[in-house]
Amino acid sequence: MLKKAGKSNYENILVTAYGMVPGRIRELLDLELESDQEYGRRWASQPYKKRKFREGEKVYISRRGEKMHSKSECLISGIFDDLGLFYLYERPLLLEGHEPDDPVFPDFTILDVVNRKEIFWEHFGMMDNQHYVQKNMKKIMEYQRNGIKVGENLIVTFESLEDPIDLELVEMLAGKIASGLWSAGGGFA
């Protein structure tokens, strides 16, 4: 029931329930209830070392002033911003079998603040390039071996020269995260 409640209802239920606990027990619990927004801001402020841009590589700037590798990533991040999602761009992720100096860099790590879960988002924008496709198929298989599964905690979007990014799909998928329905079992359904 709590998972289907809206963000404010979820927070209100927790605050109300906590308020019903006798004061002396609350002192023993020493709980600090953090709102979704407080939790999200704290999560999003974590420091991390971003992937470096190669010399001469084209750089795109997102609405929030962040350097990105593609125009489509800027468009995706703009949708995230419009929906109030907390996300980190290319935060390093160390997968099993990788050395600490060889992480993968998911395009976006998004916080499903309602369910307090991280979701990874990869946008594959050069599906016309066979080498790119093969390299990223291996990346998806690596994710899966590490418990990161498409449709669960990994969202993938694609484009090619002939088939541009589907921003309506991006908005629909991101909206499920913003509403807490993605991690609550909504996924691609």
Q: Which residue stretches of the chain have pLDDT < 50? A: 1-7
Residues 6+ apart with CB under 8 A from 44: 86, 87, 88, 111
Tokens of 82: 């419009």
Which residues on neighbouring strands pair with residue 146, listed in sequence order?
Answer: none
CA neighbor of 119 nearest in space, from 74, 167, 87, 158:
87
Count of residues in the chain: 189
Question: Which pLDDT score, from 0 to 100, does residue 10 have?
Answer: 57
Question: Which pLDDT score, from 0 to 100, does residue 106 have?
Answer: 97
Question: Which pLDDT score, from 0 to 100, does residue 27 have?
Answer: 65
For 23, counting Cβ atoms within 10 Å of its Cβ (0-12 exposed, 13-18 middle, 19+ buried), the class is: exposed
Which residues on neighbouring strands pair with residue 109, listed in sequence order?
Answer: 88, 120
CA 154 to each of CA 2, 160, 162: distance values in angstroms, whole numbers, following the listed order? 23, 20, 25
pLDDT tens sequence across 132-172:
999 999 999 999 999 999 999 999 999 999 999 999 999 99
Q: Is this structure's pTM higher than 0.85?
A: no
Question: Which pLDDT score, from 0 to 100, does residue 25 have?
Answer: 72
Question: Which pLDDT score, from 0 to 100, does residue 2 have?
Answer: 38
Question: Which pLDDT score, from 0 to 100, does residue 188 have?
Answer: 57
